[in-house]
Amino acid sequence: MRQTETGGSHPARTTPHVRLRCPRGAQDWPLRFCAAEPAADDGLRHIAVARDAVSLTRRLGGAVERRRVPVAAYRGLAVVLLEPDGDGEGVALVLTHDDPTLDVVLHAAPDADDIVAEWRGWCAALGLPMLVPLAGGGYSPAAAMLGPLPVGTPAGRRGRRAALRHRRPSVFRRRSRGQPLAVRPRPGPRAAGEV
């Protein structure tokens, strides 16, 4: 699928609507697409997203520049507004890096209908945390994380069999064992003359 951008300092702020499908199986990786790159000779940046690394290729001054960035070097996936100062409600899902030139837009839509499902799907596929932008710049995890795992508040303990505590005790539901039948000896062959 081809991803196009119109240029600018931050790709998510200037990206038209892009819907890259999150790979479901091992055969779908790597995901390859193109994005606009104003500094490149042909105006394109070729991107390949794999589970372990992101490859970025562009042509500058006739030479091919290739960068391979491990997925672990990315901070996570952030949901950002396409037009933070405008009236539009467009949102984008961005693979964020400390170097903004390495950011990759994976999903951009005019509405936020499916963005949470896409966000969770991409985070699970790449093993990266979900990020939200901060007002002063930068990003913060959407939930507490322990490595790639989200940490939630533990559920309170339930009472012992709380849902079943008013039922009849299980000891009374057991069947009692039956008594074995008394085995009578079989009569053997009768001798002649016995009655």
160, part of any domain: no
148, part of any domain: no
User: Taking the CA of residue 148 as centre, how many other CA atoms within 13 Å lie in the half-sphere pointing to its CB?
Assistant: 13
- pLDDT in 10s for each residue of the chain, 195 residues: 334 333 334 454 445 556 777 788 888 888 888 888 888 888 899 999 998 999 999 998 889 999 999 999 999 899 888 765 556 667 888 999 999 889 998 888 777 777 888 888 888 888 888 888 887 777 777 766 555 556 666 666 666 556 666 666 666 666 667 777 777 777 777 666 665
What is the predicted pLDDT for the residue at 5?
Answer: 38
What is the predicted pLDDT for the residue at 150?
Answer: 60
6, part of any domain: no
94, part of any domain: yes
50, part of any domain: yes
User: In which domain, by residue range, is 78 found?
Assistant: 11-134
Nearest-angstrom CA–CA distance, 128 and 123: 5
139, part of any domain: no
What is the predicted pLDDT for the residue at 4?
Answer: 39
What is the predicted pLDDT for the residue at 169?
Answer: 65
Q: Is 0.75 topped by the overall pTM? A: no
86, part of any domain: yes
Q: If 0-12 CB within 10 Å is exposed, 13-18 middle and 19+ buried, where does residue 69 land?
A: middle
* Total domains in the fold of the chain: 1
78, part of any domain: yes
